[in-house]
Amino acid sequence: MRRHLFRAAGVLAVAVVLAGCGDAGSSGTEAPPSAAAAGQGCAPVAGDTLVVLDDDKQLQNTDNVIPAINSKAATPELIAALDKVSAALDTTKLIELNKAVDIDRKSSKAAAEEFAKASNLTAGIAKGPGGNITVGAANFSENATLGELYGIALTAAGYTVKVQQIGNRELYEPALEKGDIQVVPEYAATLAYFLAGKVEGKNAKDPSSSDLNTTVTNLKALGEKTGLAFGAPSQAQDQNAFAATQAFADKYGVKSLSDLAAKCSGAATILGGPAECPQRPKCQQGLVETYGFKAGSFTTLDAGGPLTKTGLKQGTISVGLVFSSDGALAAG
């Protein structure tokens, strides 16, 4: 799993009806052209184009991309260079970067260089004091590409930069605190949750929020206790999201998760995702508690991976958990 996205709930799991991995709901009676009958649910509809349903009640927290910096390395020039990357990114652009690497099979370095050139990323970056900077990156392609973008901006600021893919947060965060690496592309809500656990222990209150300013304020307070500073958050988010095919959305008139709950709660609707989804507050449990959405059945697949996306496209699930910056969501 890419990050700590599926937090264990401190409350009883919501009861769900579990289905096998067969095609339940995918070969039943067709719904009327415009919508499913009330209470019947929405059977899957195959299609090649995936769309994210709008999280209109803000179930998910603000996992915006943000530069995390060792406090001793956080000069104004270094932060300003990293902030240029943040200003250049939004979720649509992050999706396109991920498509370039994960689907078009470009290297993270090549994708970052093309993006930097197209967006004139290095224009106006002021020179810093120089010196060696190591940018650490987690072991998945998106983070590696973000690390390369940070490297381009910092090189333009006069630093000698090495981008090093390290592993998971449990490995790179202590190295960042110690100063063995100086910069990491991070995700605001998830890092705040992680640092709260380090600072306050296992009973720590979740400091993240659906409001970005609240999340970042709490993150910076935790950073002061752990030797970390932060640049500006970008508008790019990589967080849990729920997707359907465009054909499904068109058939049932579903654009948001509120639409899904109102029109598609019922037996024919099949939700797909990782095995832990039914018990997680940002997955099926959250859909029930925040939206009142009740799927007819749940199919165990993966966390935003190829099984879930294939299930959507082939019409074996109605809705599936994906990551909001997945390259498969690119337009066209």
Q: What is the pLDDT of residues 39-73, one digit of tens each?
A: 799 999 999 999 999 999 999 999 999 999 999 99
Q: What is the mean pLDDT of residues 16-39?
A: 39
- Do 164 and 99 lie in one domain? The reply is yes
Q: If you count DSSP H runs as helices and E runs as strands, how many of each does the chain have, helices first?
A: 11, 10
Considering only CA atoms, which of 328, 324, 327 is closest in space to residue 65?
Answer: 324
The CATH number of residue 105's host domain is 3.10.105
- Do 56 and 198 lie in one domain? The reply is no
- Domain extent for 94: 65-230
Q: How much is the pLDDT for 33? A: 40
Return d(Cα 171, Cα 12) in angstroms, integer: 32
Q: How much is the pLDDT for 38? A: 57
- Do 37 and 124 lie in one domain? The reply is no
The CATH number of residue 54's host domain is 3.40.190.120
The two tokens of residue 181 are 């690496």
pLDDT at 289 over 80: yes
Q: What is the pLDDT of residues 109-156, one digit of tens each?
A: 999 999 999 999 999 999 989 999 999 999 999 999 999 999 999 999
**Count of structural domains, the chain:** 2
pLDDT at 1 over 70: no
Q: How much is the pLDDT for 51? A: 96
Nearest-5° Cα angle at 313, 96 to 323: 45
Q: Which residue type, as a one-letter code, is found at position 10?
A: G
- Do 76 and 211 lie in one domain? The reply is yes
Q: How much is the pLDDT for 39? A: 75
Q: What is the mean pLDDT of residues 259-274?
A: 97
Mean of pLDDT over the chain: 89
- Do 214 and 77 lie in one domain? The reply is yes
Return d(Cα 50, Cα 45) in angstroms, integer: 11
- Do 171 and 269 lie in one domain? The reply is no
111 near 163, Cβ under 8 Å?
Answer: no
- Do 160 and 290 lie in one domain? The reply is no
- Do 153 and 94 lie in one domain? The reply is yes
Q: What is the mean pLDDT of residues 91-96?
A: 97
Q: How much is the pLDDT for 19? A: 31
Sign of the C-alpha dihedral computed for residues 313, 141, 92 and 62 taken in this order: positive
The two tokens of residue 212 are 């970005």
Q: Report strand pairing: 160-167 vs 132-138.
A: parallel
- Do 209 and 106 lie in one domain? The reply is yes
pLDDT at 315 over 80: yes
Q: Which of 204, 230, 256 is the last residue of a domain?
A: 230
Q: Which of 230, 260, 280 is the last residue of a domain?
A: 230
- Do 38 and 118 lie in one domain? The reply is no
Confidence class for position 37, pLDDT limits 50, 70, 90 = low
Return d(Cα 81, Cα 176) in angstroms, integer: 18
Confidence class for position 28, pLDDT limits 50, 70, 90 = very low
- Do 282 and 140 lie in one domain? The reply is no
**Residues, the chain:** 332
Q: Which of 162, 197, 230 is the last residue of a domain?
A: 230
Q: Which residues pair with 163 in a beta bridge?
A: 135
Confidence class for position 202, pLDDT limits 50, 70, 90 = confident
Return d(Cα 64, Cα 91) in angstroms, integer: 9
- Do 131 and 221 lie in one domain? The reply is yes
Determine the 3-state secondary structure of 245 from DSSP.
strand
Return d(Cα 193, Cα 5) in angstroms, integer: 10
Residues of the chain above pLDDT 70, percent: 88
